[in-house]
Amino acid sequence: MHNREALQAQAYREELVERICQMVPQDGGCEPLNGLSFFRISTPTELYHSLFEPAFCVIAQGSKEVLVGSRRYRYDPYHYLIATLELPVASHVVEASAERPYLSLRLALDPRLVSAVMIESGYIPSPDGAEASAFEVNPLGLPLLEAVVRLARLAAVPNEAPVLMPLITREIIFRLLQDGQGARLRHLVMLSGQHHRITQAIQQIRATFDRSLHIERLAQTLGMSVSAFYAHFKAVTGMSPLQFQKRLRLQEARRLLLIEGLDVATTAYRVGYNDAAHFSRDYKRLFGIPPMQDSKRQAFRLHTTSPST
């Protein structure tokens, strides 16, 4: 029986490769159905900084690494990644080639649907359970893999998706609950306890990332001691509150520099830095290059790739 399951799992993985290749014949991505995305990359990539939205991610071929604070998550066709809070991350494709490109699938997690499946399945959160990190990599078992393949098949028959996609998505969420991801999925629905407070804290820091962060005041607002707030926040996000705020500031700074073309001093001020030199040091530490040099490099790339006049 075990050998039969292994053969079936391999057949599903091969089908997933074929279906993603059909949907994305060249490097890039597509969203054939609302909330369902496919990606294809033919070479390993450099670190890419972004805000990672809540999602269930499966790799059909290749492997990828996601860095969240001080934690590293690497996954491949035999493991899935689940993310249940929008956090600043750095990620890169580790294994990919023209012959065997990196191929992946991403399913957005809808808090309302997650909440409904939790209720329907009778999931009862443990009030004294340990804090669950917002990211996790787990082995991809056969029942969950089979549901993923059925979801991928819908991309070729979009007229069936309005009826079948909600059913398959519910099944995937149910399988994740069976796989021990309940405490993690709970971040999405903010049911109660410390999870709810940490989610509130994340929302507050994101809304006011360009202002001074008063840890004591924030902890008091949430009804927590400073030490408890630090411990729970880091357990969930992999970062301290100050590290989290700094990542948000620097990612927004890069957008302002590269997309809006602001100068370094203005950018530093806009994201909450009073000292441009301090800003430049932090920027280089995260992105590996000073802000002005990064901005010039990006401008050069745009100039060399734009049509000649």
- Domain with 27 in it: what CATH number? 2.60.120.10
In this structure, are residues 201 and 229 in contact, taking their beta carbons and an 8 Å threshold?
yes
CA distance 218 to 226: 9
Radius of gyration of the chain (CA): 21
Provide the mean pLDDT of the chain. Answer: 89
Q: Does 212 lie in the same domain as 250?
A: no
User: How confident is the model over 82-114, as pLDDT tens digits?
Assistant: 999 889 999 999 999 999 999 999 999 998 899
Q: Give the residue-averaged pLDDT of 138-155.
A: 97
List, as one string, the DSSP characters of 81-123: EEE-S-EEEEEEEEE--SSS-EEEEEEE--HHHHHHHHHHHT-
Contact between 189 and 123 (Cβ < 8 Å): no
Q: Span 109-131, mean pLDDT?
A: 77
Predicted confidence at residue 191, as pLDDT, reads 41
Indicate the DSSP class of residue 73: E
Q: Which residue among 199, 222, 240 closes a domain?
A: 240
d(CA 210, CA 143): 45
Place of tokens 């994740």: 176
Of the chain, the end-to-end C-alpha distance in Å amounts to: 66
> Angle at the Cα of 175 (from 172 to 179), degrees rounded to 5?
135
Other beta carbons within 10 Å of 283: 27
Is the predicted pLDDT of residue 167 greater than 80, yes or no?
yes
CATH label of the domain that carries residue 257: 1.10.10.60
Half-sphere exposure of 236 (CA within 13 A, CB side): 30
User: Residues 141, 17: one domain?
Assistant: yes
- Domain extent, residue 284, equals 244-305
- Residues 179 and 221 reside in one and the same domain: no
Name the strand (E) or helix (H) holding 150.
Answer: helix 142-153
Give me the half-sphere count of Cα atoms (radius 13 Å) on the Cβ side of residue 243: 15
Alpha carbon distance 31, 26 (integer Å): 14
Indicate whether 259 and 111 sit together in one domain. no
CA 219-222-226 angle, 5° bins: 20
Among residues 140, 159, 186, the one where a domain terminates is: 186
Q: Which residue has the tokens 């996954």?
A: 75
Could you give the number of structural domains in the chain?
3
Residues 218 and 145 in one domain: no
Q: Let me know whether 10 and 141 are in one domain.
A: yes
Residue 299's pLDDT is 60
**Angle, helix 182-189 to helix 193-207, in steps of 10 degrees:** 50
Is the entire prediction scored with pTM above 0.85? Answer: no
- Residue 196 is which amino acid? H
Confidence (pLDDT) at 297 = 75
Tokens of 255: 């957008």
Q: Give residue 301's pLDDT band: very low, low, confident or very high (50, 70, 90).
A: low
CB-side neighbour CA atoms (13 Å) of 307: 1
H or E element, residue 68: strand 63-68
What's residue 309's pLDDT?
31
Residue 220 and residue 128 in one domain: no
Domain boundary among 186, 207, 223: 186
Is residue 36 domain-shared with residue 96, that is, in the same domain?
yes
- 119 and 31, same structural domain? yes
For 4, the 3-state DSSP assignment is helix
pLDDT tens digits for range 61-75: 999 999 998 899 999
pLDDT in tens, 215-253: 999 999 888 999 989 988 888 888 999 999 999 999 999
Residues 155 and 204 in one domain: no
Are residues 67 and 151 both part of a single domain?
yes
What token pair was written down for 147?
A: 């549901």
Whether residue 66 is found in the same domain as residue 10 = yes
Looking at the chain, how many residues does it have?
309
* pLDDT above 50 for 129: no
Q: What tokens appear for 234 in the block?
A: 């880091």
